[in-house]
Amino acid sequence: MTVRVPAKVNLQLAVGPAREDGYHDLVNVFHAVALFDEVTVTGAATRPTGGPAGLTAEDASGGGLASHLARVPLDSTNLAWRAAELLARETGADTAVHLHVRKAIPVAGGMAGGSADAAAALVACDAFWGTGLQHRELLALAARLGSDVAFPLLGGTAVGTGRGEVLDPAECGARLHWVFALSAGGLSTPEVFAAYDRIRPGAPAPQGDPVLMTALAQGDARAVGAALGNDLQPAALELRPALAETLDAGRAAGALGAFVSGSGPTCAFLARSAEHAHQVAAAVRSAPDCVHTVTCHGDVPGAVVL
């Protein structure tokens, strides 16, 4: 049983002040892009720990991200493992399984790869075990696993509020062409939020941007590019100043928008067309921090059984 699941980019990430529980209120415009991980579930002979019998991972980036694989945990800290464990616990499913993850989404790149794998594992195990949960039940389990796990079940474009897990689907009236510039290393999401709290103490409550939503609905890529925004970008740039050169290289190549994706360090660029995306990619590859580029389009549907 194999499930394919997309990466996301945040078209807007508005971040409020830290809450009592340590989370931040967010307004998060998620957009699913055609860069996919796959999670395969197979039966296993034994289940020694009560969770999956094991987990393996493989590079599916064509080699460009092979070094990322070393940072994928192969134990119960893997979000896909935790998703299978949670589903088994909640439904009483008791067939032992093995999980195999084919990774093309960069690790710790601000594209929610781990969350995508968790969403894929939920769908794959639900199908494998025949637990037959309804979509809304899967969404509720996903929200318990993490703020970014529900969106890849949905895909498309959606506005997330709360910690990001309350989702409201939004219209995207045109195919958008993206370039992602990947760094050799990752950035830790908690460290980026901590830097944000330092830089912007007493941030106001996060607000959605109606200009962005109108531009998306109308499929006006130029207006989308002008309205893209990420409150975490100054924090990501503080932790990794070299990203500024990557962003400048994309802007110089005519990108309609250039910004850090989520908590970074991946940088995202909106291009005018598929051909222009290749030109922007060639330009940003010259930036010192960029080790690999991916061009793809959005939006795309969420997790699907292959």
- Binding site as annotated, residues: 106-116
Instruction: Candidates 86-94, 113-121, 243-251, 268-276: pick the segment binding ligand ATP (CB under 6 A).
Output: 113-121
Report the residue closest to ligand ATP, judged by CB: 114
The one catalytic residue among 126, 148, 231, 299: 148
C-beta of 305: minimal distance to ligand ATP in Å? Answer: 18
Q: Using the minimum distance from each CB to ligand ATP, give the nearer residue, 54 or 262.
A: 262
C-beta of 109: minimal distance to ligand ATP in Å? Answer: 5
Interface residue with ligand ATP among 28, 233, 263, 295 (CB under 6 A) is 263
**Which residues in 145-174 contact ligand ATP (CB under 6 A)?**
148
Q: Using the minimum distance from each CB to ligand ATP, give the nearer residue, 257 or 262.
A: 262
- Under 8 Å between Cβ of 68 and 102: no
For residues 177, 155, 85 and 265, what is the CA-based torsion angle, rounded to 10 degrees? 30
| Residue 259 Ramachandran class (φ > 0 left, ψ -120 to 50 alpha, else beta) | beta
Show the CA angle centred on residue 148, arms to residues 167 and 145, nearest 5°: 105
For this structure, is 25 an active site residue?
no
- Under 8 Å between Cβ of 161 and 16: no
C-beta of 276: minimal distance to ligand ATP in Å? Answer: 26
For residues 126, 123, 116 and 159, what is the CA-based torsion angle, rounded to 10 degrees? -120
Look at strands 97-103 and 157-161 and give their pairing. unpaired
Instruction: Candidates 42-50, 105-113, 200-208, 271-279: pick the segment binding ligand ATP (CB under 6 A).
Output: 105-113
C-beta of 77: minimal distance to ligand ATP in Å? Answer: 6
Residue 80 binds ligand ATP, judged by CB under 6 A: yes
Q: Distance of CA 18 to CAs 24, 25, 26, 191, 200, Å?
A: 5, 7, 10, 13, 10
C-beta of 262: minimal distance to ligand ATP in Å? Answer: 4
Q: Using the minimum distance from each CB to ligand ATP, give the nearer residue, 37 or 126.
A: 37
Residue carrying the six token digits 């494998």: 128
Interface residue with ligand ATP among 6, 52, 109, 206 (CB under 6 A) is 109
For this structure, is 8 an active site residue?
yes
Instruction: Candidates 23-31, 46-54, 86-94, 107-115: pick the segment binding ligand ATP (CB under 6 A).
Output: 107-115
Q: Which residues bind ligand ATP (CB under 6 A)?
A: 71-73, 77-80, 101, 107-115, 117, 148, 186, 189, 262-263
Which residues participate in catalysis according to the annotation? 8, 148
